[in-house]
Copies of this chain bind each other. A is one copy, B any other.
Amino acid sequence: MAAADNSKFPLVVVVGGGFGGIQVAKHLANQPVEVLLLDKHNYHVFQPLLYQVATGSIEAESIAFSLRKTFEGQKNFKFRIAEVSGINTENNTINTTIGEIAYDYLVIATGSTTNFFGNKDIEHFAMPMKSIPEALNLRYLMLQNMEEAVLAKTPEERAALLNFVLVGAGPTGVELAGALAEYRNHVLCKDYPELSKDDMKVYLVDFLPKVLGPMSDEASAAAKDFLVKMGVDVLLNVKVESYDGQVIKFADGREIATKSVIWSAGVMGVVPEGIAKENLERGNRIRTNDRCVVAGTSNVFAIGDVGAMITPDTPKGLPGVAQTAIQQGEYVAKTITQIISGKPTAPFKYNDKGSMATIGRNKAVADIGKIKFQGFFAWLIWMFIHLISLLGFRNKVIVFINWLINYMHYNGGTRLIIRRFVREALPQESLEAQKKELEKQQTEVAHLPKSDA
């Protein structure tokens, strides 16, 4: 790998071009370092708007931004598409799909992925929504289900196609539930005169007693109220037991026949091999000190969703939100330049800017410090903040116009099945388990007393 060759400056390798990674690279511009950013994709994703990609309100391209373009003109910057398979902190090297790379400083900013808590069936049959391809798959599946519902031969078949069960009532679940309810209430019958509004059901399920768990009680109550008024069935204190692609079963015995379970009930850090198990915290996050430094190293940092800064003040780490990643990214860039220039470093201080969620048109909730407000004003602020946070002038303009058109008449957005979503075949182990089960049943049948037939 030639990135570090012939360079007199230390090489900072940043793994992951999410909110954290791009801040590190940006704030190292014009510093006496070389920066190499690695990501498995060539774009940054503005994850807070992924749910609008899933519902077709905006195009995928509007919330993604080319990493190369982001850093155009930054002379000490290089980008490569690569996945990191292992980290060797003793040799200061990483193994990647494009070869071994030696680093002077390493920033792990690999983010998080969906946590199915080990349930292989749910992992196989439920839809995650943490990446652009996943959001597009969800969009196509929903539209395919509508088309199939039109052709359904029985009311039961139709109901299963039009029952949408969202597991996890965090911001993603709440915002997606709201968007689906708006689709049901305002678009469904226009696109599908064959279907009625009552045919489609949106369920939002959580094992906690409230939606938007980490937000204030006022925000939770208002969000739930908005959702219920929009016709979402909010099921709280409900634990999911299983989902086999046909029926989702809950611990209390209830079940719903559905072809679409969307899983946003948890995340876990994406940790490359080579990080000692004892350095991993709950949710597969890498424990760091108050300087984002991974235990046992002095030049490896973990930031954002994949990091768990465990200090007396933050015994559980910091919240897994964009703000944590952005602030830690900026902080680590500063810290690395301080280390290089021999200056003292200061511990990271998290500045909680508050949190927001939008439920639908004119409906959002916001907790900003001690100020809590809900409704139209919160919704305006939500839109404003998300718009200015998007990377790129073009993306801001296009998203704004999409929102404007959607606001003027609900019927904006693009509802095209560009690539049909086809669920991959069950993984081999499940197939073998099924086969064994079948053999077992057949053996049992063989041992039954023979009937006359």
Contacts and interface: CB of A to CB of B under 8 A. Distances in A.
Interface of A: 41-43, 59-62, 64, 66, 68-69, 72-73, 78, 80-81, 98, 132-133, 136, 143, 147, 150-151, 190-192, 194, 393-394, 397-398, 401-402, 405, 411-412, 414-419
Contact of A417 (B41, B143, B191, B397): B41
A416 B150 contact: no
A64 B414 contact: yes
A415 to B, nearest CB: 5
Nearest to A400: B401
Nearest to A81: B147
A218 B420 CA distance: 44
A177 to B, nearest CB: 23
A401 B194 CA distance: 36
Contact of A42 (B78, B143, B397): B143
Contacts of A417: 41-43, 81
A416 B133 contact: no
Q: 4 closest pairs, A vs B, by CB?
A: A61-B414, A43-B416, A68-B191, A59-B59
A133 B418 contact: yes
Most chain B CB neighbours (cut-off 10 Å) among A78, A136, A402, A416: A416
A73 B136 CA distance: 28
A104 B78 CA distance: 64
B66 A416 contact: yes
7 contacts: A43-B417, A59-B61, A66-B191, A66-B416, A68-B191, A78-B194, A401-B401
Contacts of A59: 59, 61-62
A69 B410 CA distance: 12
B42 A416 contact: yes
Given A66-B415, A417-B42, A151 B398 contact: no
A190 B42 contact: no
Contact of A133 (B68, B81, B414, B419): B419
A414 B60 CA distance: 10
B136 A418 contact: yes
A418 B80 CA distance: 16
A136 B419 CA distance: 10
A62 B401 CA distance: 13
B191 A69 contact: yes
Contact of A405 (B69, B143, B397): B397
A397 B401 contact: yes
Nearest to A72: B190
B412 A394 contact: yes
Given A80-B150, A190-B72, A393 B416 contact: no
A194 to B, nearest CB: 8
Nearest to A412: B394
A136 B194 CA distance: 32
Contacts of A43: 416-418
B412 A402 contact: no
B80 A42 contact: no
A1 to B, nearest CB: 9
B411 A69 contact: yes
Most chain B CB neighbours (cut-off 10 Å) among A41, A66, A98, A412: A66
